[in-house]
A and B are shown apart, each in its own frame.
Chain A
């Protein structure tokens, strides 16, 4: 039976429509207003034909149903589109800059962003069809990104405005990236060290469970900016009352409130999943374990931990991805991290600076997500993963 893959079709349609939007934006200097150039004005009719036909192939393939072969072909084509678009963009940018003055700024236009978004929609849909082909699945997910990585490292894209923003701030970028990683991973680790025991405690005592879930749920519904703000007042009061705390970096603004807030955010998914993971264990299983003469500790280590681990780690995964995003906002209260570029860019109305912060944040979230998914998969005991086969 042929069932159309509507996500892939929609992605391809977006790709085709994107060709009508501005492809590159030219500005005489960094902050001036720009003029938009079409696809055919930048790449000529040859380039237009290539990109158009690749999108057409995607569109046709997406109508070919959900089997694996078209899905594999689809993911190859979409990755190809990403790489070709960026190769052309880099090429044209360097030509334009040689022809005109070097002050000129060339940014990616909405058409390119739409095309990239469409391509990732197609890739996302296609990789769902390839679960039993892990190699293909990984190729589908990462080829485009790897291609972009190569283009970045070789300097092919250096004439694009984003890279020029980057060139002036290379050290800062590395520093903020590091800060970002330290902030989110440190907070999530602390969240796990706090949340897992809290979850276990909640299972053991009903009296603990309700307040724990009440508080963690309430804080979860709060926007992160509000929570950061709420922490500023008590922390500054604290640091004024006890100046010695300032020596340890405890102030109303900066990393401390950010870390505290992100820990609080990571608590709910971790506590909740720990709680569920332990309560969902069939009571007959614990009963059998104790009845056979396991001690409480043996039961915990040999039965409860292996059965609960996948769900607990799933909670850590949710918390991590969420923390990458929240850390971006933390830049507003002076905690640093990649969000700094976004807010700087917003302040200066420099779109490319915003993108310089946003894209690494999205990439980081994706990498963390994939990494954690694999850890969850590896931690799932075989008897649970397979079911009846």
Chain B
């Protein structure tokens, strides 16, 4: 889908990108990572010809890019940059409409597309379409930036630190959204980041660069377990085992766990949770509400009175989270297990500390 063949970019004496060859398959996420100044942005911008190569060839869909008119090429490749660069004089809707308008789409189609995309990045179209960029938070602006890059439904996306300018919590949410969007859309994506955990979480393959050169290009698992040289080894760091947890989804580790309805009687509780001390509490639709410590429950009290209620986002993790997150949350809260919920907040099961330990041990061996 995207193929770089011995691509070099020189600025006078400095070589920004040096004989770089890279191939990204259709529907794959390739993450470019490396120290500052190693040539990531330059590589990305040579693909859509914002920078012309000094030597080498770049192919998109088998066609050499130097044969395509730059404007045409760029209209078919979504581009999201770190600083977002929304047009401040245009509304959110008009920002998203830019490329469709360049492509002369019909008005109705553009309007529908705007609503679709805002929904896709989890922003209410009615609330956000008419806003101006100055009225958005950093995280909202970045989501609009991504929506704008997706506007004309390009098969390829180039993203330069798209989640760069937000706090860690928002960043995690944006990453989760990225994963679920990518599961739906199956784009071919090259994404630049500085954050190894982000790379491990999002990538099908990671390309590690050092001063203009590609030093290793492989799946997160291989990069973590078999670093190609000392540079990659050091770059990946000493906590490789922990980082590897970032590449593993909790899905395979979710176990069924006892849950009780909020209006259950004491006898029902006893039959459901058996010898366990704790149980998760749900409402009649199966939505997680909190947890219950059975020792606090006696004849005189009800579940409703004794249970600990909490904000779902805080007490539970979504089922597309990673083992790394699950571990961090359990350690942070001092619990031996954490409940897992689906997108709608419905209780699915739990992940336990001992399962995570077992997984780590298995990877080491």
Binds B, one of A21-29, A151-159, A198-206, A280-288: A280-288
User: Is B79 a contact of A291 with CB atoms below 8 Å?
Assistant: yes
Instruction: Name the B residues within 8 Å of A298 (CB-CB).
Output: 102
User: Is B102 a contact of A386 with CB atoms below 8 Å?
Assistant: no
CB distance from A369 to the nearest CB of B (A): 25
Instruction: Name the B residues within 8 Å of A44 (CB-CB).
Output: none
Contact A288 B81, CB 8 Å, known A306-B89, A307-B88, A307-B89? yes
Instruction: Name the B residues within 8 Å of A282 (CB-CB).
Output: 83, 85, 88
> Does A289 count as interface, using CB distance less than 8 angstroms?
yes
Query: Can you list, as one digit per residue, whether each of A279-312 has a CB less than 8 Å from chain B (1) or not (0)?
Result: 0001011111111111100100011001100000
Query: Can you list, as one digit per residue, whether each of B36-78 has a CB less than 8 Å from chain A (1) or not (0)?
Result: 0000000001001010000000000000000000111111100
> Does B132 count as interface, using CB distance less than 8 angstroms?
yes
Q: How far apart sit A292 and B145, CA to CA, in the bound complex (Å)? A: 11
Query: Can you list, as one digit per residue, whether each of B99-119 has a CB less than 8 Å from chain A (1) or not (0)?
Result: 100100000000000000000
User: Is A383 a contact of B91 with CB atoms below 8 Å?
Assistant: yes
Q: How far apart sit A289 and B99, CA to CA, in the bound complex (Å)? A: 9
Q: Which residue of A286, A293, A388 has the most chain B CB atoms within 10 A of its CB atom? A: A293
> Does A168 count as interface, using CB distance less than 8 angstroms?
no
> Does B301 count as interface, using CB distance less than 8 angstroms?
no
B134 CB contact (under 8 Å) in A288, A290, A303, A388? A388
CB distance from B359 to the nearest CB of A (A): 41
> Does A134 count as interface, using CB distance less than 8 angstroms?
no
Shortest Cβ distance from A387 into B: residue: B134
> Does B133 count as interface, using CB distance less than 8 angstroms?
yes
CB distance from A94 to the nearest CB of B (A): 57
> Does B315 count as interface, using CB distance less than 8 angstroms?
no
Instruction: Name the B residues within 8 Å of A388 (CB-CB).
Output: 134-135
B79 CB contact (under 8 Å) in A285, A288, A302, A386? A288
> Does A389 count as interface, using CB distance less than 8 angstroms?
yes
CB distance from A313 to the nearest CB of B (A): 15
B89 CB contact (under 8 Å) in A293, A294, A381, A387? A381
User: Is B132 a contact of A291 with CB atoms below 8 Å?
Assistant: no
> Does A382 count as interface, using CB distance less than 8 angstroms?
yes
> Does A384 count as interface, using CB distance less than 8 angstroms?
yes
Contact A383 B132, CB 8 Å, known A284-B83, A291-B81, A293-B99? yes
Contact A294 B88, CB 8 Å, known A383-B134, A386-B132? no
Contact A291 B83, CB 8 Å, known A381-B89, A388-B134? no
A292 CB contact (under 8 Å) in B72, B79, B91, B134? B79
Q: How far apart sit A286 and B81, CA to CA, in the bound complex (Å)? A: 11
Shortest Cβ distance from B131 into A: residue: A383
Instruction: Name the B residues within 8 Å of A293 (CB-CB).
Output: 70-76, 99, 102
Instruction: Name the B residues within 8 Å of A387 (CB-CB).
Output: 134
Shortest Cβ distance from B133 into A: residue: A383
User: Is A384 a contact of B79 with CB atoms below 8 Å?
Assistant: no
Shortest Cβ distance from A291 into B: residue: B79
User: Is B102 a contact of A292 with CB atoms below 8 Å?
Assistant: yes
Instruction: Name the B residues within 8 Å of A306 (CB-CB).
Output: 89
User: Is B86 a contact of A288 with CB atoms below 8 Å?
Assistant: yes
A290 CB contact (under 8 Å) in B72, B74, B86, B132? B74
> Does B98 count as interface, using CB distance less than 8 angstroms?
yes
Shortest Cβ distance from A296 into B: residue: B71
> Does B90 count as interface, using CB distance less than 8 angstroms?
yes
CB distance from A376 to the nearest CB of B (A): 15
B48 CB contact (under 8 Å) in A291, A294, A383, A386? A291
Which residues of A31-51 are within 8 A (CB) of B?
none
Shortest Cβ distance from B99 into A: residue: A292
Q: How far apart sit A87 and B74, CA to CA, in the bound complex (Å)? A: 71
Contact A284 B81, CB 8 Å, known A293-B72, A383-B90? yes
Instruction: Name the B residues within 8 Å of A383 (CB-CB).
Output: 88-91, 132-134
Shortest Cβ distance from B132 into A: residue: A383
> Does B192 count as interface, using CB distance less than 8 angstroms?
no
Supplied contacts A291-B74, A293-B75, 16 more A-B pairs, CB within 8 Å: A286-B85, A288-B79, A288-B85, A288-B87, A289-B85, A290-B50, A291-B48, A291-B81, A293-B74, A293-B102, A294-B98, A298-B102, A381-B89, A382-B132, A383-B132, A388-B135
A-B contact pairs, 11 of them (CB 8 A): A285-B86, A287-B81, A289-B98, A291-B50, A292-B102, A293-B102, A303-B87, A307-B89, A383-B133, A386-B134, A386-B135
Interface residues of A (CB under 8 A from B): 282, 284-295, 298, 302-303, 306-307, 381-384, 386-389
Interface residues of B (CB under 8 A from A): 45, 48, 50, 70-76, 79, 81, 83-91, 98-99, 102, 132-135, 145, 148-149
